Chains A and B, each alone.
Chain A
Amino acid sequence: MSVNQQAHTGPPYGRPQPGYQGYQQPAYGGQPLPGVPQLQYGAYNGPMPGYQQPAPPQGSLRAPSTSGAPPPASGASLPSGHLTYSPFGQGDVQNGIPASAAAVQRPPASQPYLPGSAPMPVSQTPTFQQYGPPPASVQQLSNHMAGMTIGSVAASAPPPAGLGYGPPTSVPPVSGSFSTTGSGLYTPYTASQGPPPTSVSQSLPLAQPPFPGAPRPPTMPGPPLPGQTVAGPPTTQPNHVSSPPPPSAMSGPQPGPPMSGLHGPPPPTHPPQPGYQMQQNGSFGQVRGPQANYGGTYPGTPNYGSQPGPPPPPKRLDPDSIPSPQLNELPPQQKPRHRIDPDAIPSPIQVIEDDRSNCGSEPFVTGVRGQVPPLVTTDFLVKDQGNASPRYIRCTSYNIPCTSDMAKQSQVPLAAVIKPLATLRPEETLPYLVDHGESGPVRCNRCKAYMCPFMQFIEGGRRFQCCFCSCVTEVPPHYFQHLDHTGKRVDFYDRPELSLGSYEFLATVDYCKNNKFPSPPAFIFMIDVSYNAVKSGLVRLICEELKSLLDYLPREGNMEESAIRVGFVTYNKVLHFYNVKSSLAQPQMMVVSDVADMFVPLLDGFLVNVNESRTVIASLLDQIPEMFADTRETETVFAPVIQAGLEALKAAECAGKLFIFHTSLPIAEAPGKLKNRDDKKLINTDKEKTLFQPQTSFYNNLAKDCVAQGCCVDLFLFPNQYLDVATLGVVTYQTGGSIYKYAYFQLETDQDRFLNDLRRDVQKEVGFDAVMRVRTSTGIRATDFFGAFYMSNTTDVEMAGLDCDKTITVEFKHDDKLSEDSGALLQCALLYTSCAGQRRLRIHNLSLNCCTQLADLYRNCETDTLINYLAKYAYRGVLSSPVKTVRDALVNQCAQILACYRKNCASPSSAGQLILPECMKLLPVYLNCVLKSDVLQPGLEVTTDDRAYIRQLVTSMDVAETNVFFYPRLLPLTKADVDSDSLPAAIRNSEERLSKGDIYLLENGLNIFVWVGVNVQQGLIQNLFGVSSFSQISNGLSTLPVLENPFSKKVRSIIDMLQMQRSRYMKLIIVKQEDKLEMLFKHFLVEDKSLSGGASYVDFLCHMHKEIRQLLS
């Protein structure tokens, strides 16, 4: 079933780039030779073989590619090379599958494709075929296809590729290894690999020829061919076109054999595996193209490993090869003993790369219902044609089960990750602002849904029927418009709310608090001036920065100056307010010591316009550091600070944001006073949850008040010890604010990070006093919400402030049936006050498909979003349940998801096989990362504050952020092409992939590590660090020197680029291999076993498999 699944999943990934394919192809090419594998495929259902095969084949493939003929001869190094390649191969394979799947899904056209294929067993899809068992798969396919149009099928040529991929990728290896459960399990796998390498390598050189000629090609190609042939013409890319040759190979029969082969004897499978790969290749239209041009494919490869370039080995990506060289070379016999080849299991890197190459090139057009968007790691352009951009909304599945039974059966959570104010690419247009006049936006009478593209106008345009609740509402006279012959309003294209997925309404006074238009919001800067803050230079730093930063307050549109007013407060045990009225010669300080009963001592002159009070403010900011230079006050208060800000906003009758810069646990006598309750002994006990809970409910109540006033709190923490983030963060969290934490803040090392964060935080787009409501088609309903907000009822998400980085995850549950015909609609309406004080409604609409077949569900899932949801769900769980319970629940749910797939969607196969849906083949690895995260499994050096901090942080992350947070990006810097803008290809997060002779960069959205191997060439060290040898690189370095050489520039530009991408400025940490800091670094190599007991990827996969088997049996 792996194949099938892959096929299903494949579609989303769908668009493999030529380059990639090229790779794969070669790899496959190699595989094809083995030919035999096909048989295995058949046996295993394809998946099994697929996995195993891919690994080996890849290895082999690559070897050939790089070394060309040499492969066979290749020594250890070569094999290693192969290994390295092999991962790629695998990746490719996997990708391939996905690619195909993607292709199917995305372009509606592709869907039709499938159907087309359905009728013809062979044609239907190579993928299916791979799944092997033509018959079974066919049925499934047919089901899938059912909805599709033939034409599209044609377009979907990719699917074939998907098929090919599918099998090879995840399924085979896993199954192999798991099937036996023990090492024995692995054996088959390894065995399979073993053989392939040799053969592959050989084949590679031959590859091109083999493909065509080889029997596998026929098998694999066979399917593809049909697909391709069909597809080729209509939609598919040129690649597909190229595929034609394979068709012959595609031959239906092939699938059959492979399946069987796979299942039974692992060893024999080897040969087939290659074949599979071939198939995969074949499936990819593109693949073929590349195949043809072996050379072409190679060039692609060079990029990966190429930098070192010179020697053949480097080309092969030495680093990758390190771990498993043996595999390739080892005789099959040895392999059985060997553990699972990490290269053979689904590789995130591969999936990401494939999606990037498939989807990155052309815009994602949102016009079609239920389209799965490209991955978040792919840089793509969006064209809004009626559905909200995936930058605004992503769903765990774009095809929702029609009934709750189905949903329950699958256990796939139905959730949408919504980022209402997301930043778009510059090329994309911001939502248009629509003004419906005094009567306000046109809405459904019953459910109050806002006018959107899915509303049906009837009776000549006099009424419209709500797409959510079907209620019929009169069209207000001023909004009336005639319909054209298709029933569309004539002004369809003139009105954003009728033609676009995202747009804004201008709100009327009815949408405002107290029926009064809001005043422009205010920013209040509240600076801790206790001893620590002053001594560390923080106060001076903040004041200096504010002087210039105040000129960059958010402005609306093209207004000349920001409407936002600013105010200043400093505090230690008492609060100091400042009167900075423009008419004053000097600012005035007003001390409020009555912290027990906070109030705002002044009205006029506290919140001022920056330009008007410029000189007074400057004078104030100059004087603050001086005034407190000699302070000896170490105690601070906290709650009164927020209260003060809140009261100030109340008095000014506006919403706003507090920027609080705080250093220590608030132990001074005041409301909200805290005590140090940190206790690491609680970890792994039932009381561990208390560490995440606030100490007192005081802050919850305060948060409620803040939300009511629209007072958002952003917290910048500079702790030198425990300060109870779990409690201090409550208000921030519930008001939609952000926490920034700089432990052991040191001016020299942390200044840049802090200032960059501050600048971004102050400048970023933000809405105030926001209320978000998600409306859905009858049949499902939003039931649960995750994120930084407050809810006073069950439907409205209230946020005092909402910025462009904040994300809300919404879970849906069925309360009735959905229909396949009408699909499911989401409408997210966000009412907020803009930075100029304009009250607006931002509407995002998204239409989803509905399915009655589980396979459709599994084919349209998005693992990254799923992980986002699961992580948030789990992170909330730790507040109320022991961590272990939460972890078990996570594993269990995922096992059920996968088991359900296996049971209902995959073609029958041996129980020992692990079969993963293509769309979810990364679920295990990502899930493992979530389980290993600091919150769920704290490392020794992780503080309680860190955990609380991360817990809150993750809760409002979007999909892209969770993706990189849980599976950090690891880039081999030494392989970067200094002449191009591109990033070096990422590698998997495992120590095995690191070469002592290289320098790597790892980023997870919070930190950037630069890891330097002990054997790095001195020249590189000199270029990058300006010192002559490894040993001279000082420990604990946190910046890179600015050096004028291409390598240094390149590295720094890469770092800058990464910093730009993330919503927070990441902390740069230079790690020398074998240095103390390396421990910290290794913590982020998430595919490895972690010191704190986290399982390695491979082990976890085994574990998951076991779980799934248990569920199935």
Chain B
Amino acid sequence: MSFQSFCSPMATYLEFIQQNEERDGVRFSWNVWPSSRLEATRMVVPLACLLTPLKERLDLPPVQYEPVLCSRPTCKAVLNPLCQVDYRAKLWACNFCFQRNQFPPAYAGISEVNQPAELMPQFSTIEYIVQRGPQMPLIFLYVVDTCLEEEDLQALKESLQMSLSLLPADALVGLITFGRMIQVHELSCEGISKSFVFRGTKDLTAKQIQDMLGLSRPAVPIQQGRPLQAPEQPVISSRFLQPVHKVDMNLTDLLGELQRDPWPVTQGKRPLRSTGVALSIAVGLLEGTFPNTGARIMLFTGGPPTQGPGMVVGDELKMPIRSWHDIEKDNARFMKKATKHYETLANRAAANGHCIDIYACALDQTGLLEMKCCANLTGGHMVMGDSFNTSLFKQTFQRVFNKGFNGEFRMAFGACLDVKTSRELKIAGAIGPCISLNAKGPCVSESELGIGGTSQWKICSLDPSTTLAIYFEVVNQHNAPIPQGGRGAVQFVTQYQHSSTQKRIHVTTIARNWADAQSQLQHIEAAFDQEAAAVLMARLGVYRAESEEGPDVLRWLDRQLIRLCQKFGQYSKDDPNSFRLSESFSLYPQFMFHLRRSPFLQVFNNSPDESSYYRHHFARQDLTQSLIMIQPILYAYSFHGPPEPVLLDSSSILPDRILLMDTFFQIVIYLGETIAQWQKAGYQEMPEYENFKHLLQAPLDDAQEILQTRFPMPRYIHTEHGGSQARFLLSKVNPSQTHNNLYAWGQESGAPILTDDVSLQVFMDHLKKLAVSSAA
């Protein structure tokens, strides 16, 4: 029953979907679109897509010229395979606004047989390299907390030093350290190391920061009789940000000499940590020196901000950091102010195309809840760990600098996503690591889903897996039928700074058939992509959960699910047993069941920081990863056959099995009771039980494979029946057997879960009942 089971009658659509995803990085909830607004709303699941703008394609070399744009100022769509071309007149018609455009002179030789790439159907996605503007180097600004335990700091220093070797040689690098005070290190000086120091309690405006750092342009150069002032600017901007190759040694030493924050911390107090101001300075520094240039602010923090703007908790240890309980009771006195502070910062950074990563490693919370927007709005990474001295952090951090197959960093900066739609569609919004650019236009819908009101978004940092959910609204009126065979089109234009510092434009144009929902509902139904739909709905739910009460969101999700079942289920009224769902919808309720239990919507047992962390990742991972997050994968290893995916159900927990669960955030290997006993008995050491050894080894190898590729590194848990860490597994599986129904189900299989949560079966029963109810 796992979603991986692809064999189904809908193979054609599945293939189509898969093909499209591979080629364009797009998954639509509906692959045949209802042709009128009214019908579309009745579909319950909105017309939307998951877009992975920079999806890696081995077979797509970028072209080295500029795209040809539609000349209508409000359109500016890029020439694409859907356009009608008059080869003789050298004209092309925009498929979005129907403007007829002259080809530019360079296209003089164009003909049916001599087409430019962008006109070929297989190039519905194409990447242009453009030569406009100066090429700016990548910028990495480390913002390092020094209020760490000695070992943690040491580990962090080593990681940072190591990272220098991973950076491109011409990248600019800067260092800010903070504790009670904030030090902005000047990297250019010889001999004496120099830093600008700020107190951590005072909020400074961007201008103040720039003035204090000496970054502001000399207002009026009143240089009476004093010589030259030519090389001012480069000097200024490079004081704090230097090319790695120049300051490599210097910075390595500097990092090496980094000491723990020297201010004494008395017993019963937290160290004073000025994260808020440190970030503010980092943002201000980049804002003043490299606006609109790709840059990464990398914040490494080992605890919550305890003073100044952005403080999350006081320095008294007796006052614990806020919990969900406090937040619900409105007892988190610093939360709102801090959140506001970080939001302001995030917006400023995003406006300048800078992204903020947060690497928070501590056993307690570090204030991710308040700081989450920094990463969320700018496309930065958020990494949460227990200590900098763990492989989880070390490897995750290293992976930030991973290179793709072509030897390029898997990161891009300052992207601007522009979405264009054909007339029948409008854009309702987007959910993902982006901010609105407030580009109003004819294709912007009135109603908003996610970040709406615009057709353009800024994504300050993205990697090949960054995925946005984009929601559309069908605006075609019911009485204005679309001609038979008409297609709706959407074009995604992503301009960004490639890690090689090139400017690139990534264009994806897709088209889908319209269908009249009344006459051709089965087409639409068949073209439903329940996986994409589940993720898209989940994103909407999570998005709402950020601002609404948890139960409200759940209720909303439930209602949507019920409505969908009512719409597409086949049943006799008031007869739950008659309820059937077609293959293309069959998995959807199950996804919803797990989504309801997921940490994205349930805060129970999670700290606010954890919730923020999970939600952060959920809002940016691609469809596959998102689905794993919603419904973890469970593999079983046993002597009964090859490893196989099994139901995420308590019944899958058997004594003679090894289970491997991947929840995206955790990889859990669980040894069944018997296996665990065998292992304790040491059978794996005996030559005659080598097969047991292999059995033990198999899940480890598979887990390793996942660990190798996943970002961020999942928490790796190796446990066994009865182990305390088994809770990770037990909390995820469908509690089909609990202490309540254990005996009813007999002893045959599975392990009871001690929970009062409803099981999938109960959930489905209720769903059916409500779906068929005439009262609903």
Residues of A within 8 A of B (CB): 531, 574, 576-577, 584, 586-594, 597, 599, 601-605, 619-620, 623, 627, 632
Contact = CB atoms under 8 A, between A and B. Distances in A.
A590 B183 CA distance: 8
Given A586-B191, A593-B214, A627-B192, A601 B257 contact: no
A477 B226 CA distance: 76
A888 B181 CA distance: 57
B212 A588 contact: no
Nearest to A633: B214
Contacts of A576: 194
Contact of B196 (A593, A604, A627): A593
A597 B199 CA distance: 9
Contacts, number: 69
A603 B263 contact: yes
Interface in B168-224: 181, 183, 186, 189, 191-199, 202, 204, 208, 211-214, 223
B723 interface: no
Given A587-B192, A603-B262, 9 more contacts: A584-B257, A586-B193, A588-B193, A589-B189, A591-B195, A592-B197, A597-B199, A627-B192, A632-B229
Contacts of B202: 594, 597
Contacts of A599: 181, 199
Contacts of A620: 192
A593 B212 contact: yes
Contacts of B183: 590, 601
5 contacts: A589-B194, A594-B202, A601-B183, A603-B262, A619-B192
A797 B193 CA distance: 44
Contacts of B213: 593
Q: What 9 A-B pairs come out closest when comparing CB atoms? A: A593-B212, A601-B197, A589-B194, A591-B196, A604-B262, A599-B199, A590-B197, A588-B193, A603-B262
Given A590-B183, A601-B181, A603-B263, A623 B197 contact: no
A532 B186 CA distance: 25
A193 to B, nearest CB: 64
A594 B184 CA distance: 13
B262 A593 contact: no
Given A597-B202, A599-B181, A632-B226, A592 B196 contact: yes
A583 to B, nearest CB: 9
A627 B189 CA distance: 9
Contacts of B192: 586-589, 619-620, 623, 627
A620 B194 CA distance: 12
A602 B177 CA distance: 13
B191 A574 contact: no
Nearest to B264: A603
Given A601-B181, A604-B262, A594 B199 contact: yes
Given A594-B204, A623-B191, A623-B192, A602 B262 contact: yes
A590 B195 contact: yes
B212 A574 contact: yes
Contacts of A594: 198-199, 202, 204, 208, 212
Contacts of B199: 594, 597, 599
A118 to B, nearest CB: 75
Interface string B302-320: 0000000000000000000
Contact of A632 (B181, B211, B223): B223
Contacts of A602: 181, 197, 262
Contacts of A601: 181, 183, 197
A287 B74 CA distance: 118
A978 to B, nearest CB: 51
B274 to A, nearest CB: 12
Contacts of A574: 212, 214
Nearest to B208: A594
Interface of B: 181, 183, 186, 189, 191-199, 202, 204, 208, 211-214, 223, 226, 229, 257, 262-264
A501 to B, nearest CB: 46
A602 B180 CA distance: 10
B366 to A, nearest CB: 24
Given A601-B183, A604-B262, A589 B193 contact: yes
Given A601-B183, A623-B191, A627-B192, A593 B211 contact: yes
A594 B226 CA distance: 27
Contacts of A590: 183, 194-197
Contacts of B264: 603
B197 A577 contact: yes
Chain B CB count within 10 A is highest, among A531, A590, A602, for: A590
Nearest to B262: A604
B751 to A, nearest CB: 56
Contacts of B195: 588-591
A585 to B, nearest CB: 8
Nearest to B202: A597
A716 to B, nearest CB: 24
A1036 to B, nearest CB: 25
B220 to A, nearest CB: 14
Contacts of B186: 591
A587 B193 CA distance: 7
Contacts of B204: 594
Contacts of A589: 189, 192-195
Chain B CB count within 10 A is highest, among A586, A591, A602, A619, for: A591
A599 B180 CA distance: 11
B230 to A, nearest CB: 13
A412 to B, nearest CB: 56
A832 B195 CA distance: 37
Contacts of B193: 586, 588-589
A602 B182 CA distance: 10
A587 B257 CA distance: 12
Nearest to B183: A590
A603 B192 CA distance: 18
Nearest to A587: B192
A203 to B, nearest CB: 73
A621 to B, nearest CB: 11
A784 to B, nearest CB: 42
B765 to A, nearest CB: 65
Nearest to B263: A603
Contacts of A593: 196, 198, 211-214
B328 to A, nearest CB: 37
A588 B202 CA distance: 24
Contacts of A603: 262-264
A591 B198 CA distance: 8
Contacts of B223: 632
Contacts of A597: 199, 202
A588 B191 contact: no
Nearest to B223: A632
A603 B265 CA distance: 13
Nearest to A575: B197
A595 to B, nearest CB: 8
A619 B192 CA distance: 9
B199 to A, nearest CB: 5
A584 B181 CA distance: 20
A592 B199 CA distance: 9
A589 B223 CA distance: 27
A281 B736 CA distance: 131
B194 A588 contact: yes
Nearest to A591: B196
A616 to B, nearest CB: 10
B178 to A, nearest CB: 11
A584 B193 CA distance: 11
B25 to A, nearest CB: 47
A628 to B, nearest CB: 11
Nearest to B214: A593
A592 B183 CA distance: 9
A341 B482 CA distance: 128
B263 to A, nearest CB: 6
B273 to A, nearest CB: 16
B194 A591 contact: yes
A529 to B, nearest CB: 13
Nearest to A595: B212
